[in-house]
Structure 1
């Protein structure tokens, strides 16, 4: 019997994921190891101080409170690394084609529906337009130079207005120019939009907009970002 040429890919364990997350974050924030060591030391010191103040300074109380402080220090170091890893991800994908779709499809939560595939794209320049629909209405996001995005933005706005009359439409541009939204602030900006439609209306709008959406299967999709390579794996 022929030997199998491939085996199912093994899922990384917790410690392997933490190692990957640490290396990913350290590449951007080189001071991360020193900050984590400082947090660990601070946790132990706080535990020892509490051992003196609360436990009377006995050996047992110092050991127990020292271990407690160490555990809290480990927790603090992990929280710091997790938060910095998110910022590191945004720094790495900033300016890459497809970054907007990645953020919309992974960072908005269940209250918004979005895809990492653009609803409009300029094949020559890779300027792209993305759309998300939620309780805050319809949000159209342009990725690229504003001047070259005008036609794509207008086309998507008119299409949405025809099938979702009365539903608010917000247009955002990702970038670093005046009135642009930084990629790191995109999800936060969208989530802050006031709720203007209920869940039933939202579901209806999604169906109507999707029914008239143009098929983009024949158009080249931006390939500048691969989430599996850019985003470090999170511990499960």
Structure 2
């Protein structure tokens, strides 16, 4: 079986990690020292634990310590890289859509289902909590748009919980870096079969919408790398 030709425009995994590290270092200059410390502490713990089991040899404790230290570094770096990537796009149009793309399986994300000429945007999530309408932009312009979207969804998905979320740093808004965690804690009101039914019901609603080309600038390659690190791929 012939190998699929490598896309020359697609960055390698090493290149993605390097870009993630560079962006993270801009907002977190001590990231190198932090990762080194994490590696040493986790490695020492791993070495000590296995040395208690195999006191007559150093090979297994050393190998286990290196593996545990590396795993700890990957976990810490993935989290800090995600935070740095979100900080680098915070406030830009489409930033919330990029952040919501980090959600794991079980969520259906539809960016830009509602918008204004000033690039205020409403995104939609369908997941365990029900329907989540996520707004980013000017709150005064977004409120009537949010009310209109809520009414549209209530007509086609009667009885399904609808949550309204505004992304921002003002009172009553959710900061971009916390948006993923926030929506995942909204509860579990829909089972997978119910989600399928909801998606079918709102399909007709979306068929009558005009498409919005979301800005392509806010999502750097490092964001994709950070998302992959968080998902363990």
- TM-score between both structures, scaled by the size of structure 2: 0.80
The answer (yes or no) to whether the contact 2:20–2:222 under 8 Å persists in 1 is no
Instruction: State the Cα distance separating 1:107 from its structure 2 match.
Output: 2.3
Pick aligned residue for 2:114 from 110, 116, 120:
120
CA distance 1:8–1:140, shift in 2 (3 Å): closer
* Cα displacement string for residues 180-200 of structure 1 (whole angstroms, at most 9, x for unaligned residues): 111122122221222223333
In the alignment, the residues of structure 2 paired with residue 208 and residue 176 of structure 1 have an alpha-carbon distance, to the nearest angstrom, of 33
In the alignment, the residues of structure 2 paired with residue 34 and residue 96 of structure 1 have an alpha-carbon distance, to the nearest angstrom, of 30
CA distance 1:54–1:153, shift in 2 (3 Å): closer
Instruction: State the Cα distance separating 1:109 from its structure 2 match.
Output: 2.4
Instruction: State the Cα distance separating 1:77 from its structure 2 match.
Output: 2.0
CA distance 1:198–1:40, shift in 2 (3 Å): closer
Unmatched segments (≥5 aa) in structure 2: 1-5
Pairing 1:139–2:135 present: no
* Cα displacement string for residues 150-196 of structure 1 (whole angstroms, at most 9, x for unaligned residues): 22111111110111111111111000111111112212222122222
In the alignment, the residues of structure 2 paired with residue 54 and residue 220 of structure 1 have an alpha-carbon distance, to the nearest angstrom, of 59
Find the counterpart in structure 2 of residue 3 from structure 1. Answer: none
Find the counterpart in structure 2 of residue 216 from structure 1. Answer: 210
Pick aligned residue for 1:98 from 94, 102, 113:
94
Pairing 1:193–2:186 present: yes
What is the CA RMSD across the aligned residues, in angstroms? 2.8
The answer (yes or no) to whether the contact 1:24–1:232 under 8 Å persists in 2 is no
CA distance 1:154–1:39, shift in 2 (3 Å): closer
Greater C-alpha Rg: 1
Pairing 1:36-185 to 2, within 5 Å after superposition: 36-43=35-42, 45-46=44-45, 61-62=57-58, 64-104=60-100, 106-115=101-110, 117-123=111-117, 125-185=118-178
The answer (yes or no) to whether the contact 2:20–2:223 under 8 Å persists in 1 is no
Instruction: State the Cα distance separating 1:95 from its structure 2 match.
Output: 1.1
Instruction: State the Cα distance separating 1:227 from its structure 2 match.
Output: 4.3
In the alignment, the residues of structure 2 paired with residue 52 and residue 135 of structure 1 have an alpha-carbon distance, to the nearest angstrom, of 45
How many aligned positions are there? Answer: 223
Pick aligned residue for 2:221 from 213, 219, 228:
228
Find the counterpart in structure 2 of residue 4 from structure 1. Answer: none
State the secondary structure of the residue aligned to 1:27: helix
- TM-score between both structures, scaled by the size of structure 1: 0.79
